[in-house]
Amino acid sequence: MKKALITGITGQDGAYLAKLLLGKDYKVYGLIRRIVNRDFSNLEYLGIDKDIELVDGDLTDEASLINVIKTVKPDEVYNLAAQSFVGTSWDQPLVTSEINALGTLKLLNAIKTHWPTAKFYQAATSEMFGNSATDGIQNENTPFHPRSPYAISKLFAHWMTVNYKESFGMFAVSGILFNHESPIRGKEFVTRKITDGVAKIKLGLADEIKLGNLDAKRDWGFAGDYVEAMWLMLQQEEADNYVICTGKTHSIRELLDVAFQHVGIKDWDKYVSIDPRFKRPAELHILTGKNDKAKEKLNWQPKVDFEELVKMMVDADLKRLKK
């Protein structure tokens, strides 16, 4: 039985990845840090909360990571833990860097020193590209120009992953994933904020959604599809980096159109207001990925399209709220 260690097990991707690996007969270990009110709702939502072996540790604490690596001796390590909210990274750049940048380095070092045969997956991000592509389309060869402390911290972790592969021969890959969402996406991210808000408005529990920049465009996919790409990257002969995306881009306005129309509301203007607090000091205007390499080498492609994704999320929020 293969052993996988997942950091970020309580997050969106950690839960979907754990479900995928359990289905493939892996023994799944999930790293959890000490916090007061532990929340396993994502694992519960997917019905796998009893199937994970939890191990204590924090990405900022190297001793705990060494202990976990020595104890678990994993075949595969998926580093998904992060301060993952871009907006917060301007308010908490140090915490963001401690976790995302130095935390990744600590984990790489623990693996290199104590269990170097483990294959390593790093959760990199399309945020690393910034606005560098003049045509708004990004692939593995697009230059990086990070525009937030979050993106900068992830770029450090990305290059450290590449460097540990090149310097020490570790099987270490960096998956450059574009935005991916699901019914268990955190409610501060714009997709879930909108689907939760639309469901509340439909049920008469709210009358407004406050948003920032409605003109930003993102390439949104389904988290359930994207975790499969993470796994596939670690099953290849050669460690390599891949862009994972749908190749299609939509604005926040289009997201609002689909979500409101799904509950029978055509004119959403009266329910949406602009609040400058949700605008960013530096914005990424348009992200659209090209997934040719992943299609060709991993035989991967997304299954859920944008409209299906938004409707799935609205339906899940309606169901949850009705309960």
**Binder among 4, 11, 198, 316 for ligand NAP (CB under 6 A):** 11
Catalytic residue annotation: 125, 127, 150
Minimum gap (Å) between residue 254 Cβ and ligand F7E: 12
Q: Which does 302 bind (CB under 5 to 8 A by kind): ligand NAP, ligand F7E, none?
A: none
Q: How far is CA 170 from the centre of its chain?
A: 23
From the list ligand F7E, ligand NAP, none, partner contacted by residue 252 (C-beta under 5 to 8 A by kind): ligand F7E
Q: Please identify which residue in 28, 80, 155, 170 interacts with ligand NAP, judged by CB under 6 A.
A: 80
Single-letter amino acid code for the residue at 51: D
Per-residue CA distances from 86 to 77, 118, 280, 301 (Å): 24, 30, 9, 26
Residue 183 interacts with which of ligand F7E, ligand NAP, none, CB < 5 to 8 Å by class? none
Q: Which runs of consecutive H residues, i.e. helices, occur in the chain?
A: 12-23, 41-45, 62-72, 86-91, 93-97, 103-114, 149-168, 190-202, 223-234, 252-262, 292-293, 306-322
User: What are the beta bridge partners of residue 78?
Assistant: 6, 121
26 burial via Cβ count (<10 Å: 0-12, 13-18, 19+):
buried
Could you say whether residue 7 binds ligand NAP (CB under 6 A)?
Answer: yes
Site for ligand NAP in 200-229 (CB under 6 A): none
Q: Give the binding site for ligand F7E (CB under 6 A).
A: 84, 86-87, 125-127, 178-179, 188-191, 193, 211-213, 216, 218, 252, 278, 280, 283-284
The minimum distance between CB 66 and ligand F7E, in angstroms, equals: 27
Q: How many residues does this entry show for the chain?
A: 323
Cβ closest to ligand F7E, residue 31 vs residue 216: 216
The DSSP letter of residue 213 is: -
- For residue 318, state whether it binds ligand NAP (rule: CB under 6 A): no
Cα–Cα nearest to 157, from 238, 79, 70, 58: 79
CB closer to ligand F7E out of 42 and 191: 191
Please give the residue ranges that form the binding site for ligand NAP (CB under 6 A).
7-14, 31, 33, 35, 58-60, 80-84, 99, 103, 123, 125, 177, 179-180, 186
